[in-house]
Amino acid sequence: MKTIFYVITALNRGGAEIGLKKLIESGFYDGCVLYVVSLVAGSGELLEELKLLNIRTTVLVPRRKPSMFSMAVASVRLLRLVRLKAPDILILSLPQANIIGRIVGSLCGVRTIISFEHNTKLAKLAYKYLFLATSPLVDVAFFDCIETGRSSLENYYLKKPARHYVVPLISFEASPELEMVSDYSKLRIVMAGRFTHVKNHVVAIEAISALKQREIYVELHIYGEGQLQASLMERCKNLGVADRVFFPGFIENWYDQPDFNCFLLTSKHEGLCFVALEALWKGIPAILAPVGGIPGYANDSNAIVLMDTTPRSVAQAIVELIHTQPDIIYARRKAGQAIVQQKAGTSAVQLEHDRIRKEVLL
């Protein structure tokens, strides 16, 4: 039975981290001895969730956020841990863990080094050059969607790894039954995701402000957590929309909250986008930025796809939804559910997981 170290930068509740949890729950790592090693602690909630799943978890530096100092300390501690435990496989997730883990794995002679990549664009230019420099050390590449794979192989590898796979991070049972909705004149829009610059929530807030000036009543409910929440709330106050934009906090199954009749995504870039897939599966009318993996499952037949992510464009899309015939919206919702089942239905995902496990992990 092989031992796997899954090394991740921090245990926050972002897409990569939640993807780890979902893969564990799906049984992707069954038949292996799995250790999760986090360079820093992160926000902590995911650590508790992993413990409930009986996953061996080690935090190398007990700080919430990575820094140059904490990464240096984590590098030394990871080197010692890998030498002590001698894992068969390192799986490296998120930029800092990827860069450090590739070097540590190579120094320690780890048999298989796997880079698990979750985004089409790295946050810092320095990461690109460090990814390129260490790319020859990677034996296998995992990607969260086809577009992440295409972008990563094109931009971040001097030579393609001998083996690379798209690993589905999420799967869906049959979609819920839909009811026809006859009135979209009062939209309650939902967004979900960490409060970061990449998620671009400020564009949505400014669109709500523009609609308020036109006396179009729209509510925006943004589920999530993160360091930008305070500044986003302040922006709402300054624009006079604090009575129309709400921050309910993090809720895992946000899509089960009642009465939302529009989902909005304004991200600057993505890999696989869990929340967009969840919205389509649930049958919530969607307005989506065509970034990352989104074009692989969203188009004009099942969503409103933004031309660009400006406040003006977002406001226009919201008005378009309000004035679209209910039967057209219903058809889009059904088409969205169908594409999710085609791309990420439980049986199809399980077959792909079994194939990758046999070829790489077992």
CATH number for position 225 = 3.40.50.2000
Give yes or no: residues 338 and 350 share one domain: no
Give yes or no: residues 46 and 166 share one domain: yes
Please give the angle made by the CA atoms of 327, 309 and 302, to the nearest 5 degrees.
25
Q: pLDDT tens, 105-119? A: 999 999 999 999 998
Q: pLDDT tens, 184-220? A: 999 999 999 999 999 999 999 999 999 999 999 999 9
Q: With contact defined as beta carbons under 8 Å apart, do 222 and 247 qualify?
A: yes
Give yes or no: residues 331 and 357 share one domain: no
Question: Binning pLDDT at 50, 70 and 90, where does residue 155 land?
Answer: very high
Q: Which residues contact 274 (CB under 8 A, 6 or more apart)?
A: 15, 18, 19, 169, 170
Question: Binning pLDDT at 50, 70 and 90, where does residue 40 land?
Answer: very high
State residue 224's pLDDT score. Answer: 93
Give yes or no: residues 353 and 322 share one domain: no
State residue 97's pLDDT score. Answer: 97
Give yes or no: residues 327 and 353 share one domain: no
**329-351 mean pLDDT:** 96
Cα separation, 176 vs 25, in Å, equals 22
Give the structural domain span for 163. 3-170+345-361
**Inside any domain, residue 334:** yes
**Inside any domain, residue 257:** yes
Residue 13 has pLDDT above 90, yes or no: no
State residue 122's pLDDT score. Answer: 87
**41-61 mean pLDDT:** 91
Give yes or no: residues 335 and 356 share one domain: no
Cα separation, 49 vs 99, in Å, equals 26
291 burial (CB, 10 Å; 0-12 / 13-18 / 19+) is buried
Q: With contact defined as beta carbons under 8 Å apart, do 158 and 135 qualify?
A: yes
Residue 255 has pLDDT above 90, yes or no: yes
Residue 120 has pLDDT above 90, yes or no: no
Q: pLDDT tens, 265-289? A: 999 999 999 999 999 999 999 999 9
Residue 88 has pLDDT above 90, yes or no: yes
**Inside any domain, residue 176:** no
Neighbours of 258 (CB within 10 A): 5
**243-253 mean pLDDT:** 95
Q: With contact defined as beta carbons under 8 Å apart, do 287 and 340 qualify?
A: no
Q: With contact defined as beta carbons under 8 Å apart, do 273 and 293 qualify?
A: yes
Give yes or no: residues 207 and 129 share one domain: no
Query: Which H or E run includes 277?
Result: helix 274-282
**Inside any domain, residue 181:** no
pLDDT averaged over the chain?
Answer: 95
Question: Binning pLDDT at 50, 70 and 90, where does residue 259 land?
Answer: confident
Q: In this predicted model, which residue has the larger pLDDT, 226 or 215?
A: 215
**Inside any domain, residue 182:** no
Neighbours of 169 (CB within 10 A): 26
225 burial (CB, 10 Å; 0-12 / 13-18 / 19+) is middle
State residue 48's pLDDT score. Answer: 86
Provide the 8-state DSSP code for 116. E
**Inside any domain, residue 178:** no
Cα separation, 81 vs 75, in Å, equals 10
Give yes or no: residues 133 and 55 share one domain: yes
State residue 345's pLDDT score. Answer: 94
Q: How many separate domains does the chain show?
A: 2
Query: Which H or E run includes 182?
Result: none
Which residue type sits at 326?
A: P
Provide the 8-state DSSP code for 53. T
Give yes or no: residues 269 and 349 share one domain: no
The residue written with tokens 């008005």 in the block is 319
Across the strands, what pairs with 244?
Answer: none
**287-295 mean pLDDT:** 95
Give yes or no: residues 13 and 91 share one domain: yes
pTM, two decimals, is 0.89
Give yes or no: residues 34 and 160 share one domain: yes
Cα separation, 118 vs 112, in Å, equals 19
Give yes or no: residues 214 and 236 share one domain: yes
Q: Which residues contact 250 (CB under 8 A, 6 or more apart)?
A: 13, 45, 223, 224, 225
